[in-house]
A and B are shown apart, each in its own frame.
Chain A
Amino acid sequence: MEKPQAAVSMRNIVKTFGKGVYANRDVDLDIYHGEILSLLGENGSGKTTLMNMLSGIYYPDEGEIFINSKPVSINSPKDAYELGIGMVHQHFKLVDVLTAAENIVLGLDGALDLNKAKEKIREICARYGFEVDPDKKIYSMSVSEKQTVEIVKVLYRGADILILDEPTAVLTPQETKKLFEIMRNMKKDGKALVIITHKLAEVMEISDRVAILRQGKYVGTLITKNTSPKEMTDMMVGRKVELGIERPEPIDPKLRLRISNLSVTDAEGIQKLKNINLDIYSGEILGIAGISGCGQKELLESVAGLQKVDSGSIIYYDDDGTEKELVGMDPVKIKELGVALSFVPEDRLGMGLVGDMDLSDNMMLRSFRDGKGVFTDRKSPHERAEKIVKQLHVDTPGIETPVRKLSGGNIQKVLVGRELYLRPSVLMTAYVVRGLDINSSYTIYDLIVFQKLSGTAVIFVGEDLDVLLQISDRVCVLCDGQVNGILDGRKAEKSEVGLLMTSLAENHESVSEPAYAKTGSDPEKEGGN
């Protein structure tokens, strides 16, 4: 069979950021019509940079780009559109107060006829299976709807080469499924699709071929059906990696936190948590599953003393059984109570760390009040930062580098490292591996499991159900601010969790719990399982 003409050919692409920092180096890539290509690589491997050169955001330092075999020069996103290239970025570029249709036509030349535009939008939706209300305002849309608008916007402008940058990162399993359906429809229509991702399961499910980048260099392309996650991972990280998370049995679990009848209302007056009852034991990992916005954030922040609570109590049990009420405390008071509570929040740079501060100063966030006197102790945070860099293999030019300049995985290592350094008795993590490459992710998982083994009660909020079910001893599923079931992590099925995430169960009793959690609520009687 004769080789079909490539929709896009990139040859010897080089892009540098500053002297000696290669984002891409001699990259060759072909994209064909009627196929879905996965662009796979660790964080910082240059996937997004490469695609940004196609969409006109960056201009390559060297190399050539051919569209349908013709050499082109793409100087701006406008040039890209004219060549039929459209990219959906991770961060949506939509105007909140405008409607879907207004956003889609925004910036287009020529006379504006909104009715005609809406007609065309409906046509596109019908063709590929999108569900979009052209008159709905962006601010009232869910993340998935916003993404849909972005994709329709690209199609509306006549793109036949579509690039999707980590589109599933913000979607629920159900939404992901729907997106993949649409992608297959587009493929059937002859579009060339590129999906940037590092979720191997998705690569296997959706793509025809997979191109792999490592440290800015092109490693190779595989036919998806002829490869395995293992092989892809090896190519991505350049060495053989053992996949799989250890899950030792909890050692001597004791009741550590008891959340009773906890209710929370947010600033807009929406009830976020309704009568939550939950026990967390030492030495276990309690996974929390739920679609975004179902109350995970409020739950963790209530425990951390960051969230105003309407009613209910959160009792912390010391090793000797002393009870300490955490409701009404702020983080400083919780620390003063002697409760070692660590919290890795979802928003790393916006909450967990200060992006413009260096590693050492970020260490100080937890310790700057230590010591008497008006001055801060600068030495020990510096030493701590050095230790963390060494132990967690943080890739940084130095301790004095602002953390925002590090890659996502290294930022997370700094944050997790700092929080674990406190030797917490309770550790809470939210989406701890979001946006991280596989290597970093497994480093973090190992750290968390190690904490569990040292007797820490871990609350693990995750979005990747495969991981959640591999790491958790128990899985608590939240739905609409309520506990919709607590499952045994070793026995639960993914589909079961998915169902509980999306619809409130009628009867909670049917779900299984491990023996140690059932033995009762009195911590005095706890003696393992």
Chain B
Amino acid sequence: MEKKIRVPLFHLAKREELSKKKKFIIRIIAIVAALLLCALLTALATGINPLEVYGSLVGGAFGSVRKTWITLQDLSILLLISVALTPAFTMKFWNIGGEGQVLVGGLATAACMILLENKIPSVLIMLVSFIAAVLAGALWGLIPAVCKAKWNTNETLMTLMMNYIATQLVSFFVIIWEVPKGSGKIGIINQNSHDGWMVQLFGSKYMLCIVVSAVVTVFMYIYLNYSKHGYEIQVVGQSINTAKYVGINISKVIIRTMLLSGALCGLAGMLLVGSINHTITTTIAGGQGFTAVMVSWMAKFNPFTMIPCAFLIVFMNRGAGEIATNFGLNPSFADIMTGIILFFIIGCEFFINYSIKFRKMSGGRS
């Protein structure tokens, strides 16, 4: 009895499944805690009233009708790309080539708009752009999928490398189409004729992206959860051996799924070029192909959960510019806040899975 017993201050215990309500509450607590930390950081680092900064964030995203529409449009594009990547991730095919798939989709659209101007009616250009963009994106998804299916290459590296090829292709064509020569800019394509500019739905130029993204999100939810294809994707993702055991043709599923994933990314590229920017640059996807990976993961591959996840990121991005404008803070400051919030949200999963048991005060022995 001479040696005092070392009872640990706390130890971790795995929780049983929490109710949805409790999980929700834990996540809300995490976000509130993150906001408090951000507020503290803001006050300490900049001396600006954090509440004003938060107000400004909200203002940046929803300060006017136009801002709200743009926020929704940005949300729809990020959501669309996230949803597009999801079938591949569900299959545990690490498609980090969304950026490239979006880019080639955009490039195909730009090519149609430039090459077909004044040659065929605008509606036909739209149709041709749509087909071209979807095919281009699908091709960008197909190449790594075939290599994976046939030779078991590493899809992470392969899709990543395809991004660089797409970027270089776009640079190449930008120089071919640039106006004026040597400026490195295409500028607005068909600025006066509006040939091949995507249709406006309900009289709003923001609506098309929102509607397409909503439709694709619902489609993907149904596809993954209720279709035979979706079921095969899930089995392949969970266990290759089980898939073989029940006779699923794994190569076929990989190729089919990546065609879909790439095609939808291509569609996002078409919207970026044909409906939003009306130009093509190497940075038109703006890293959203990578951000979407995070959104898809954060949402645990549930297309509907991706809506709040994508919203959070878009909201912070939109607010970032506003903070910079109003307070002269560098937009990187908003990135820091986004980082803190994401850290808390992802970190709180730990508390959903584990509980911490503290030493009982009365339990001390000597």
Which residues of A does B touch, CB under 8 Å? Answer: 16-19, 21, 59, 61, 70-73, 75, 304-306, 330-335, 343, 345, 347, 349-357, 361, 364-366, 368-369, 374-376, 378
Are the C-beta atoms of B8 and A350 separated by less than 8 Å? no
**B20 neighbours in A (Cβ, 8 Å):** none
Of the candidates A59, A365, A374, the one whose C-beta lies within 8 Å of that of B246 is A365
Are the C-beta atoms of A354 and B238 separated by less than 8 Å? yes
Residue of A nearest to B227 (CB): A374
Residue of B nearest to A17 (CB): B14
Per the CB 8 Å criterion, the residue count for chain B at the interface is 31
Please give the distance in Å from A48's CB to the nearest CB on chain B: 15
Please give the distance in Å from B160's CB to the nearest CB on chain A: 27
Q: Report how far A59 CA is from B356 CA in the complex, Å.
A: 12
Residue of B nearest to A366 (CB): B246
**A75 neighbours in B (Cβ, 8 Å):** 6, 8
Are the C-beta atoms of A71 and B5 separated by less than 8 Å? yes
The 6 A-B residue pairs whose C-beta atoms are closest, nearest first, are A18-B16, A331-B247, A332-B247, A351-B241, A354-B238, A73-B5
Q: Report how far A210 CA is from B196 CA in the complex, Å.
A: 82
**B365 neighbours in A (Cβ, 8 Å):** 71
Q: A330-B247, A331-B246 are in contact. Are A354 and B239 (CB under 8 A)?
A: yes
Residue of A nearest to B16 (CB): A18
Known: A61-B13, A353-B242, A354-B239. 20 other contacts (CB 8 A): A16-B13, A59-B8, A70-B3, A72-B5, A305-B247, A306-B244, A330-B249, A331-B245, A331-B247, A332-B247, A350-B241, A351-B239, A354-B238, A356-B238, A365-B245, A368-B232, A374-B227, A374-B229, A376-B227, A378-B226
Are the C-beta atoms of B245 and A352 separated by less than 8 Å? yes
Task: Tell me whether B11 is interfacial, beta carbon within 8 Å.
Answer: yes
Report 23 cross-chain contacts, Cβ distance below 8 Å, ordered by A residue.
Answer: A17-B14, A18-B13, A18-B16, A59-B8, A59-B11, A70-B1, A71-B5, A73-B6, A73-B8, A331-B246, A335-B247, A350-B241, A351-B244, A353-B242, A354-B235, A355-B239, A361-B234, A364-B231, A365-B235, A365-B246, A369-B228, A374-B227, A374-B228
Residue of B nearest to A306 (CB): B244
Are the C-beta atoms of B239 and A350 separated by less than 8 Å? yes
**B238 neighbours in A (Cβ, 8 Å):** 354-357
Q: Report how far A302 CA is from B230 CA in the complex, Å.
A: 28
Are the C-beta atoms of B231 and A368 separated by less than 8 Å? yes
Q: Report how far A332 CA is from B252 CA in the complex, Å.
A: 14
Task: Tell me whether B7 is interfacial, beta carbon within 8 Å.
Answer: yes
| Interface SS, A side | loop
Interface centre among B5, B234, B247 (most CB of A within 10 A): B247
Are the C-beta atoms of A61 and B231 separated by less than 8 Å? no
Instruction: Map CB proximity to A onto B223-262 as digits: 1 under 8 Å, 0 otherwise.
Output: 0001111111011001101101111010000000000000
Task: Tell me whether B194 is interfacial, beta carbon within 8 Å.
Answer: no
| Interface SS, B side | mixed
Of the candidates A345, A357, A376, the one whose C-beta lies within 8 Å of that of B245 is A345
Interface centre among A17, A73, A332, A343 (most CB of B within 10 A): A73
Task: Tell me whether B67 is interfacial, beta carbon within 8 Å.
Answer: no
Task: Tell me whether B66 is interfacial, beta carbon within 8 Å.
Answer: no
Please give the distance in Å from A67's CB to the nearest CB on chain B: 11
Q: Report how far A334 CA is from B8 CA in the complex, Å.
A: 58
Of the candidates B6, B8, B11, B241, the one whose C-beta lies within 8 Å of that of A347 is B241
Q: Report how far A16 CA is from B11 CA in the complex, Å.
A: 13
Q: Which of B1-56 contact A (CB under 8 A)?
A: 1, 3, 5-8, 11, 13-16
Residue of A nearest to B357 (CB): A61
Of the candidates B226, B241, B244, the one whose C-beta lies within 8 Å of that of A376 is B226
Are the C-beta atoms of A350 and B242 separated by less than 8 Å? yes
**B239 neighbours in A (Cβ, 8 Å):** 349-351, 354-355
**B235 neighbours in A (Cβ, 8 Å):** 354, 357, 365
Q: Report how far A16 CA is from B16 CA in the complex, Å.
A: 10
Please give the distance in Å from B308's CB to the nearest CB on chain A: 23
Interface centre among B228, B244, B249, B357 (most CB of A within 10 A): B228
Q: A17-B14, A375-B227 are in contact. Are A352 and B242 (CB under 8 A)?
A: yes
Please give the distance in Å from B295's CB to the nearest CB on chain A: 21
**B227 neighbours in A (Cβ, 8 Å):** 374-376
Please give the distance in Å from A362's CB to the nearest CB on chain B: 9
**B229 neighbours in A (Cβ, 8 Å):** 374
Q: A70-B3, A75-B8 are in contact. Are A354 and B242 (CB under 8 A)?
A: yes
Q: Report how far A334 CA is from B246 CA in the complex, Å.
A: 11
**A59 neighbours in B (Cβ, 8 Å):** 8, 11
**A364 neighbours in B (Cβ, 8 Å):** 231
Please give the distance in Å from B118's CB to the nearest CB on chain A: 41
Q: Report how far A16 CA is from B238 CA in the complex, Å.
A: 29
Q: Report how far A71 CA is from B6 CA in the complex, Å.
A: 11
Residue of B nearest to A356 (CB): B238
Q: Report how far A21 CA is from B6 CA in the complex, Å.
A: 26
Please give the distance in Å from B112's CB to the nearest CB on chain A: 30
Q: Report how far A187 CA is from B232 CA in the complex, Å.
A: 54
Residue of A nearest to B2 (CB): A70
